Structure 1
Amino acid sequence: MQMSEHGCGLLTQWEGFETKAYDDGVGVLTIGVGHALTPAEKSSGTVNIGGTAVPYAQGLTLAQVQALLASDLPAYENTLNDSIAVDLNQNQFDALVSFCFNIGIAGFHGSSALKDVNNSAFDEVPDDLRKWNKAGGVFNQGLANRRENEIKLWLGQI
C-alpha cells in the first residue's frame, strides 16, 4: 500500500511545511515536511531530492519540499508493508504511516501498536498510539494532539 493523497495532506498539516531549516524543538535540524537533516546533509548543505543534491541554505521551493516528502515516504510505507501481516484499510494505513514517520522506523518496530495490529487487536491501537506523547522524555501537548488526530484517522473519522 501507499499513503493516500488525503493522508499526505494530513501528514503535511501535522508535521508542518517549512521551506527553511529549523530546530524541531528537541534539537533536530529539520526542513520541508518533517525531514530530519542527516549528518551528511548538514555538512554538505544539500538535501538529496530525487537523486539531485539541492542546496537548502536559502530555503527550498514548494515543489522541492513536495518532492522531498515524496522521496521520504517510501521508507515508511515499505516499513509498514514489510512489517504488517494483516489487511488494513486506507485510513488505518495512513494513520500508521504518519505515526511511523513521526516516531521513526526503529520506534515503530518496537511499538505495541505494531504488535497489536499484527494480532488483529485493532481496538487496542488508539491506546498504543497515545503512549507516544513525549519529546525528549517530556510530555508534549502537540504530540498528544497529533496522536488524537492519528487515532481519528485510524477510526475513519477524518
Structure 2
Amino acid sequence: MARQVNATTEAALKQWESFIPFVYDDADPKPGLKKTRLRPGMKVRGTATQGYGHTGPDVYPGAPDVTEAQALAWLRSDLNPCERAVATSAKVDLTDNQFGALVMFAFNAGIGAFKSSTLLKKLNAGNYAAVPGELAKWNKTTIDGKKVVSNGLVNRRAAEAGLWAKGGYIQSSGTPALPQRAPLINGKVVSTITAVSSTGALQFVPHDGPLAYALAGVLVLACVVGIGLYVWDRVKN
C-alpha cells in the first residue's frame, strides 16, 4: 500500500485550507468564508479554488457549491499524486510528520516544483536541517502575472516547518513504521532544537510531549521572524 499522510497532516491541511463550499479566487486576501464568491464573468487574479483548496477544470466562476463530504473526497484524491511524489522522490527516511510536511508543500507549490527544488536535493543529500529554511523561500504567489510575497504563504511555510519539527514515526520505503521518540537525523535520534532563519539554520527535533510542542512553537516563531527580516532586507536594498 502506498504511503499516505497521517491524521495529523490531514487535520492540518483541512484547518489550513478551510472548507469553502463556493468558488473563490485564491488571490483574495480575505479569510475563509469572507472571501468573495466568484460568479460567471468575474476576473480571476490568481486561481479559481473550491472546497479544501481544490483546483482544476471542474472549478470555475459560477460552479455550484459543494458539500464538505465532496470537498474531503477531492482533498484525498488531490493528495494521492503528492504522496506518491514524496514517497518516490525522497531517498532518505522520513517520519510521518516529515512526510506530511513535504506532502503539504507539494500540494501547495506543485509536484513539479517539489521534484526540482533545492529542498529535495539537500534532503536527499542527508541535510535534514536545511528543509525549514528551504521551505521558507517559497513565499511568493502570482497575482496579475507578477510574483509577490504573500503573508499567507509565509505563515503556511512556517506551519509546514512546525509539522516537520514534530516527533513521530520513522518509516523507510517498503518497511513498516517504527515508533521513535524523535526523528532520526543522519541516523541519530536528536533532542535539541535551534532557530531557523530564511537561510536555513540547524533544526533538530525534541522528544514528544508538552516540551516538544512548546519548542516547535519557538521554531515556527523563529522561522516567521527570520523570513520577515529577510524580506525587510530585500526591500531596503
User: Which band: TM-score by shorter chain?
Assistant: 0.7 to 0.9
| Residue 42 of structure 1: how far off its partner (Å) | 5.0
Give the Cα separation in 2 of the matches to 1:126 and 1:31. Answer: 28
Q: Is the 8 A contact 2:138 2:157 kept in 1?
A: yes
Q: Is the 8 A contact 2:50 2:59 kept in 1?
A: no
Which residue in the other structure is 1:70 paired with?
76
Q: Figure out how many residues of one structure are paired with residues of the other and give that number.
A: 145
- Out of 150, 153, 156, the residue aligned to residue 163 of structure 2 is 153
Which residue in the other structure is 2:154 paired with?
144
User: What are the Cα deviations for residues 39-69 of structure 1, in whole angstroms up to 9, with x where unaligned?
Assistant: xx258x9xxxxxxxxxx83311111111111
Give the Cα separation in 1 of the matches to 2:151 and 2:118. Answer: 21
Instruction: Say if 1:42 and 1:16 are closer, same or farther in 2 by CA, change over 3 A.
Output: closer
Select the structure with the greater relative contact order (CA < 8 A; seq sep ≥ 6).
1
Give the Cα separation in 1 of the matches to 2:141 and 2:103. Answer: 19
Give the Cα separation in 1 of the matches to 2:160 and 2:66. Answer: 28
1:82 aligns with 2:84: no
Q: Is the 8 A contact 1:31 1:37 kept in 2?
A: no
Hey, which bits of structure 1, 4+ residues long, moved more than 2 A?
none
More helix by share: 1
Secondary structure class of the residue paired with 1:36: coil
Give the Cα separation in 2 of the matches to 1:27 and 1:149. Answer: 22
| Residue 140 of structure 1: how far off its partner (Å) | 0.7
Secondary structure class of the residue paired with 2:15: helix
Q: Is the 8 A contact 2:23 2:59 kept in 1?
A: no
Which residue in the other structure is 2:124 paired with?
118
Give the Cα separation in 1 of the matches to 2:155 and 2:56. Answer: 24
Worse overlay, 95-104 or 7-16: 7-16
Give the Cα separation in 2 of the matches to 1:124 and 1:32. Answer: 32
Which residue in the other structure is 2:23 paired with?
21
Give the Cα separation in 1 of the matches to 2:120 and 2:18. Answer: 25
Over alpha carbons, which structure has the higher Rg? 2
User: What are the Cα deviations for residues 68-92 of structure 1, in whole angstroms up to 9, with x where unaligned?
Assistant: 1111111100001111111100110
Give the Cα separation in 1 of the matches to 2:155 and 2:78. Answer: 23
Q: Tell me the TM-score normalised to structure 1 length.
A: 0.86
Q: Tell me the TM-score normalised to structure 2 length.
A: 0.58
